[in-house]
Amino acid sequence: MNVVVGITGGIAAYKAVNVVRGLVLAGHDVHVVATDAALRFVGRPTLEAISRNPVYSELYEGVAEVRHVAIGQAAELIVVAPATANTIAKLASGLADDLLGNTILASNAPLIIAPAMHTEMWQNPATVANVATLRSRGVRFVGPAIGQLTGSDSGPGRMAEPDEIVAAALTAVGRQDLVGRRILITAGGTREPLDPVRFIGNRSSGKQGVAIARAAAARGGEVTLIVANLDDGVLSGLSSTVSVQQVSTTRELQEAALLAAGTAELIVMAAAVADYRPETVAAGKIKKETQGDTLELRLVRNPDILHELTDSRHDGQVIVGFAAETEPDRDALLVLGAAKAARKGVDYLVVNRVGWNETFGSDDNTVIVLDATGRNVAEANGTKASIADRILDVVL
């Protein structure tokens, strides 16, 4: 798909690099149209290296090819991120005094705007009216979020995160191939308490599972998302149509998942589940003064939720499991994955390598998708948002 990313002159322009990157990694042909002010914040070489295309900014360049019209005519999607108050005002008034304004006026493509400005500017009656005008014309807005702004300011006006913008943009032109399908997804990592203060857990942020929920909802699915101990902000931008349930421990996840699975046509178990839990949980904080130099813990095995789901599946239900492995050798990793797919009885197993500095908490992922026989049916590398869509493509 031919995508134009418009970048305007705000400090959030540095985040636009990851918007461009996310769209490129999702397989799209991305062309950046930057204002002169935007290029004061982020360099042309950076944007050209990431987009893999020349960056356009001058209205009077490429006159022979009528570039000021041609870019917009060729676009299938336009994303403006960040969009300053000034840019929003010009778009609402139909002004075209730069290449970006001309590009948007010359295009019939869906337009996605990600505002970024100080709170007072976002809440100013002029900006409120301009946003309302653009919305009435079918323009879609992503954000702004509430958070840290330039300097010490904080409040509404922070540009939405790049993954959220990319997901919303692709939704605007996306497929609706999951309409009416009931989907259960789990995300995050379970925690097993030792006492009221401490727990045994894992480093899962929940980003990949939530990305799958976001993608499934964008494609029309009726999504139930069960989350365990997500990193801050991971649920930001999630569609209100997604039903979210919060759990913490493995047994809480087991109860919620088995209950929700009854009506689900597709189950994606992306949560990282603790294999063991403490045999006993202290009623009060464990004190080193009473324990001495060593502390012995006795752990017992947790229920195998994925296996229980496959054992109790109903006709036509498709179940996708995840396997996070530290095995560095690719062939050995595939052997481990094939064995787990067979042992768990899943239809598909998503295998990814993890480590001290790999995958956990990152916005990117690299996965191999195996079918029930252990056959490699797909591989994907990129943002977790793009990985999510690839997994759904394979399942469909």
- Which residues are marked as active site? 202
Is 328 strand, coil or helix?
coil
Task: Tally Cβ neighbours within 10 Å of residue 371.
Answer: 16
Cβ neighbours of residue 238 closer than 8 Å, sequence gap 6 or more: 210, 213, 214, 217, 225, 244
One-letter amino acid for residue 15 of the chain: K
DSSP 3-state percent helix, strand, coil across the chain (nearest 5): 35, 25, 40
- Residue 237 in contact with residue 168, Cβ under 8 Å? yes
d(CA 11, CA 42): 9
d(CA 5, CA 171): 16
Phi, psi of 307 (to 5 degrees): -65, -40
